[in-house]
Structure formats: structure tokens, C-alpha cells
Amino acid sequence: MKFDRWTRRAALLLGALTVLLSGCTTYVTSQVTAFSDWSGNDATRTYAFTRAADQQNNLELTTYERIVANELATHAFRQVDASAARYLVGLSYGIRSDMVTVAQPVYYNPWPAPYWGRPFDPWGPWGPWGPYPSAYVNQSYPIFTHLLGVRITERASGKEVYNVTARNSDGESSLVRAMPYLARSALADFPLGNGVVHTVKIPVDKNGGVSNEVAATGAAAAPASASGAKAVQ
């Protein structure tokens, strides 16, 4: 029967789409801005975290410091007691929520059921006699902007030598789940040049965590680094 033929074709298309989607890689994209007067070397990369007086017993900040410490370690930073540290590292962070409204088309289909919809219906919202009348409805979605700032100063002189900010926006309502991506993005290709603004794309692994793949970066105000990162087009 004709209907059975279309049913089999729809099932095959659905299976093909499932295979294609399962092979796609999801990325978290962050914008990174850096200001730098860095002249340190690997031998002098000892540091300690610094906090404001009202942050001394802040468990949330402790959690974020551990995440940033892991990323600093990949750049030969070694955490020591504050009295022996060459650098002091301070963190700032936050999250903001907004609502985004998008106009979505709604199509009228005069044909009787069953109606597969695109791409299974070869006509989609259009029939052989022209497009069906369409309307739009507004759909609102929450969007969250996450931010992490990392400020490095020389302990002896108080001079700021590196200040970098990473921010991203998506539907993730938890700052703690976004923090590993922010930390890796902020310190990707350390040290960046002064006034560099670039985009960092970090793959998400199949379990929803940060992938071990190399982050892809795109610099807007400095030549490409030698880290092997791929530029974002």
C-alpha cells in the first residue's frame, strides 16, 4: 500500500537522523577578554588565592578556587602558602538571568491525518497549490549569563599583571556547572596579549562534562598562539 511505503520511508529517515545527531559534538562557547603585563616564567609561578574579608568562609568560592587551581596547574602554576607566593590570584564571578522572546511560525494544514510534518512530508507546510496560511506566536525562553574573572597580582608590589574575564550565555541555570567551562576558557592559551578579545569553544563530553579535547580559540586582537588550538571561523 502507498501509506505503508511512506511509513517505511519515514522510519528510515528517522533512523538516519538519529545516527547523525548522535555523532554531533556540542560546544560551550565563551567570550574571553584579557589585559596583560605578564613577564613571569615557569620557575616563578607560585601563587596563593586572595579573598576579601567577607569571603573568608565562603564555600562557594572555595569550590571555584579548586576549579581554577586545576586550570592554573596546566600552565605550571604551583599553589603555596601566601607568605611564599610570588603571585596572588583573586576571583570574581556571577550569574544573571534574562528572558528571550522568539517568534515561532505556526502552519495551518488542511490535509487530513496522518500528517508527518517536515522532513517526512515532501510538501512540508506547502501543498501543490501554494503555501498554507501561517501565523506566528511568541515563545519566551530563559537565558543565563555566567561570568568568571581571574586577576593576578604580584604579592610584593601589588602590581596587576594579568586580568582576564570569561562569559557565556545559555539555558544552564547553575553557575557551578558552568564554572569548569569558564575557568578553562579564561586560561586557554595563557598568557594572552594585552587587550585580546577572543572566542573559546569547549567540547562537551557524552556525560555532559568538560571534554578533554583541545579547546578551539579564535583571537580577534592578537596573532594565533602556539598552543595548537584551532581558530574559530
Q: What is the DSSP string of 120-170?
A: TSTTTTEETTEEPPEEEEEEEEEEEEEEEEEEEEETTT--EEEEEEEEEEE
Rounded to whole angstroms, how far apart are CA atoms 120 and 116? 6
pTM for the whole structure: 0.69
pLDDT of the residue at 13: 40
Task: Give the residues of the chain that fall short of pLDDT 70.
Answer: 1-25, 107-134, 206-233
Domain spanning 26-219, CATH class:
alpha beta
pLDDT of the residue at 121: 54
pLDDT of the residue at 231: 29
pLDDT of the residue at 36: 97
pLDDT of the residue at 116: 52
pLDDT of the residue at 62: 97
Q: Which three cell numbers stand for residue 64?
A: 571555584
Instruction: Write the Ramachandran bin of 189: left for phi over 0, alpha for psi from -120 to 50, otherwise beta.
Output: left
